[in-house]
Amino acid sequence: MTDSPVRRVAVVLFEGFTVLDVYGPVQAFASARTARPDGSWHRHFEIVTVAEKAGPVKAGEGPTTHADYAFSDAPAYDILLVPDAVRALGLIERHRVDWMYAVPTMMHRIWRLPEAERTRFDVSSLRVVFHMAAPCPPWLKEAWIGWLGGERILELYGGTEAQAITFITGTEWLEHRGSVGRVLIGEMRVLDPDGHELPPGQVGEIWMRRGPDAPPTYRYVGANPKTRPGHWESLGDMGWKDEQGYLYLSDRETDMILVGGSNVYPAEVEAALEEHPAVASSCVIGLPDEEYGNLVHAIVHAVTPLTAEELGAFLGGRVAKYKRPRTFEFVTTPLRGDDGKVRRSALRAERLTSHPPPAR
């Protein structure tokens, strides 16, 4: 690491970020993305390893590496939690921030600002926008790539548990649209329910491990991992690989909706819904239906008045007919937190125990 008197600034655009020991191997405690109640302890902050492989940049007056911006030299940084889009852009301009962490929720908030307001800030100092923690709708990612350039937009996929991690640049993504990259750390396999590895193009459950003899990267508190022999673990994500080994996510196994024998992945429908300029956030769930087993129900937080008919027409050319919501429900509060997460199971449970959804 390069010593420098210049204070460098990192902006962390999500809440719940904790660094506990900045002088030794960093440990962090976080709520696991698998919704296990008590979270997991991490042996190290894995983004440091990924960032070191991402290549050098310059910050302040001296050369440094991306690993610096992963807080491995934490006393040199201000760590800012900025859930407000305008304030985030203002801080980037004021402090000449060149490294930004973001979840898609914040990317969406920034992009939905009026263009005149978004572009009045000077963000030319940004060299890297690293997004993670939740799926990024392809239209939104493409918009950011068009705004800042492909080499500035980086994406990481992996659990909080950090068994394995993929990485992709925006430039790569344009050639493999929708991918979260190739495995950079550890191993990942796509398996069928019987544990057989699936060929490219077929959707299955994603299993990962650090290595056949590698020690665990974490331990759960109050929960147990989903495992297979050989130290393989699953976070419950479904996906597939292409011929070149790029990974694509479908959705969580537990979130998938079976409609008349066909699989509907909520993340795909939500991405299409949130492409509408009036939709701030959405949550797609399955509700019981006598004819099809389940029907697709969309809960929508809109910033301006919308009707079910308008959204249905908007989705017409974006998702297949059987995937489109049969019912819509409009709410006045955000459906995703600043961390990009949506309380899907809780939202579904509330609707199953309360009055039926609106009429079709």
Same domain assignment for residues 180 and 305: no
Q: Is residue 222 part of a domain?
A: yes
Cα angle 57, 49, 90; round to 5: 50
Task: Single out the residue in 197, 218, 252 at which a domain terminates.
Answer: 252
Same domain, 201 and 338: no
Tell me the pLDDT tens digit for each residue of 142-152: 999 999 999 99
The answer to whether 36 touches 87, Cβ cutoff 8 Å, is: no
Of the chain, the end-to-end C-alpha distance in Å amounts to 60
Distance CA 261, CA 24 (A): 52
pTM: 0.66
Q: Supply the range of the domain harboring residue 247.
A: 8-252
Nearest to 335 by CA among 284, 282, 287: 282
Same-domain check for residues 132 and 276: no
Q: What is the CATH number of the domain that holds 151?
A: 3.40.50.12780
Residue 19 lies in a domain: yes
The span from the CA of 182 to the CA of 243, in Å, is 11
Question: Is residue 200 assigned to a domain?
Answer: yes
CB 104 within 8 A of CB 134: yes
Q: Tell me whether strands 179-185 and 165-169 are parallel, antiparallel or unpaired.
A: antiparallel
Check: CB of residue 294 under 8 Å from CB of residue 286: yes
Confidence category of residue 4, pLDDT binned at 50, 70, 90: very low
Number of structural domains (the chain) is: 2
Most confident listed range (32-36, 73-77, 223-227) = 223-227
Which amino acid does the sequence have at 35? A
User: Residue 287: which of 273, 299, 300, 269 has the closest Cα?
Assistant: 299
pLDDT surpassing 60 at residue 8: no
Q: Which two tokens mark 198? A: 């699936």
Task: Identify which has the larger pLDDT, 11 or 125.
Answer: 125
Tokens encoding 233: 């673990």
pLDDT attached to residue 356: 54
* Within a domain: 1: no
**Are the beta carbons of 268 and 251 closer than 8 angstroms?**
yes
| 188 and 95 housed in the same domain | yes
Mean per-residue pLDDT over the chain, rounded: 74
How far apart are the C-alpha atoms of 250 and 243, rounded to whole Å? 17
Say yes or no: 123 and 234 in one domain: yes
328-357 as b/e: b if 16+ CB within 10 A: bbbeeeebbbbbbbbebeebbeebeeeeeb
For the chain, state the CA radius of gyration.
21
Residues 74-101 pLDDT 10s? 333 444 455 678 888 888 888 787 888 8
CA pair distance 191, 199, nearest whole angstrom: 9
The tens digit of pLDDT for each residue in 242-276 reads: 999 999 988 777 788 888 778 888 888 998 999 99
Residues 201 and 263 in one domain: no
Instruction: Kindly state the percentage of the chain with pLDDT values over 70.
Output: 72
Q: What is the 3-state secondary structure of 119-130?
A: HCCCCCCCCEEE
